[in-house]
Structure 1
Amino acid sequence: MEFVIVLLTPILFMPMVTGYMAYGNGRSFWRWFGIGFALPYFSLLLITYLVHRDKRKSRTA
């Protein structure tokens, strides 16, 4: 059982971080969790860019 936990923790870490960042900025947690699971590193860079872009737009508006 511990072996399964050790294997799943790194696999689920990136999607959880991506989903948390998305949810904290008004986006769907589960959608971004799925994207993070499929494309772990790319999704984190993408959500970081989108959050930065949204904050920059709200500052100028």
Structure 2
Amino acid sequence: MEFVIVLLTPILFMPMITGYMAHGNGRSFWRWFGIGFALPYLSLLLITYVVHRDQRRSRTAQTNPSDSNLP
């Protein structure tokens, strides 16, 4: 029984972290948990990139207001 726990812990650890990061940034926990389960290490890199891209877009939108309101 301990052998199964030792094997499953790392396998479920990566999807949990990926899902937690996604949920904390307004994305679906279960979708990213599934991606993390299928692609453990790649999913962490992918969610990190997606979060960084979203933060950069929101920062750019705040510093550069829409020019459509100009006469």
- TM-score by shorter chain over 0.5: yes
Aligned residue pairs, count: 61
Equivalents in 2 of 1:10, 1:42: separation in Å?
Answer: 15
Question: Structure 1 or 2: larger helix share?
Answer: 1
Identical aligned residues as a percent: 90
Cα displacement (A) at 1:4: 1.2
Name stretches of at least 5 consecutive residues in structure 1 with no aligned partner. none
Q: Which has the greater radius of gyration?
A: 2
Shift of 1:19: 0.4
By how many angstroms is 1:32 displaced? 0.2
- Alpha-carbon displacement from aligned partner over 1:1-43 (angstroms, at most 9, x marks no partner): 2111111001111101100000000000000000000001111
- Please give the residue correspondences for 1:1-61 in structure 2 after superposition, counting only pairs within 5 Å: 1-61=1-61
Computed over aligned residues only, the root mean square deviation of the Cα atoms, in angstroms, reads 0.6
**Structure 2 regions of 5+ residues with no counterpart?**
62-71
Q: TM-score, normalised by structure 2?
A: 0.83
Matches of 2:52 and 2:60, distance apart in 1: 13
Q: Which has the higher contact order (CA 8 A, sep 6+)?
A: 1
